[in-house]
Structure 1
Amino acid sequence: MIVGLLTVELHIGGAVTLKDKRRVIKSIVERVRSRYNVSIAEVADQDLWQRATLGVAAVSTSTGHVNRMLETVLKSIQANREADLINYWMEIM
């Protein structure tokens, strides 16, 4: 079993309240869940208005498949115009 973890830090410049931030994060999380077979959740920075950290996990029998899945998810998150990618980490175990 191969487990892939992706941690993504985002800046949400248009958010002036936590409600604005949650709307953007909910949109990203629902889109990723519906398109890809991965688990995703906000894992840090819940109380900050313009910053979010998302954790994504994928499981497969192939390292290459997990790597491709997480790269595709990362590109999908980067394509969101309401949030800017600050940093990301990918780990495959």
Structure 2
Amino acid sequence: MSERGAMLGLCTVELFLPNGHSLKEKRQILHSLKDRLRKLNVSVAEVGDQDLWQKALLGIACVSNERAHVTSVLDQALNVIRGVPTLEVLQSRIELL
């Protein structure tokens, strides 16, 4: 292992759920999505818009000793999210710390 130090990647994703008709339905969709994302060994949480039926703000974090690995994992996470037909990505942002 190299001595480069830890690299933290944070991805925030604003989502629109066009078919969301209740908070219960929204939470079911997000729970399924979060389970799929965790298979990528990331931490994921709903960090905003919890009281809105059709919007969600997710935070996804990844830690590694290599910048390329962090970037790759967060790109994969975004691809998983974009592959969900019941969701629309309004905005996404990746920060490396």
Aligned to 1:36: 40
Structure 2 residues without counterparts, runs of 5 or longer: 1-5
In the TM superposition, structure 1's runs of 4+ consecutive aligned residues that sit over 2 Å from their partners are: none
Distance in 2 (alpha carbons) for counterparts of 1:43 and 1:89: 14
Aligned to 1:23: 28
Aligned to 2:3: none
TM score, norm. by length of structure 2: 0.93
Q: Paired residues, what number?
A: 92
Aligned to 1:3: 8
**Higher Rg:** 2
Identity rate, percent: 40
Distance in 2 (alpha carbons) for counterparts of 1:32 and 1:66: 14
TM score, norm. by length of structure 1: 0.97
Distance in 2 (alpha carbons) for counterparts of 1:83 and 1:23: 13
Q: How far off is 1:64 after superposition?
A: 0.6
RMSD over aligned Cα atoms:
0.5
Q: How far off is 1:74 after superposition?
A: 0.5
Q: How far off is 1:52 after superposition?
A: 0.2
Structure 1 residues without counterparts, runs of 5 or longer: none
Q: How far off is 1:14 after superposition?
A: 0.5
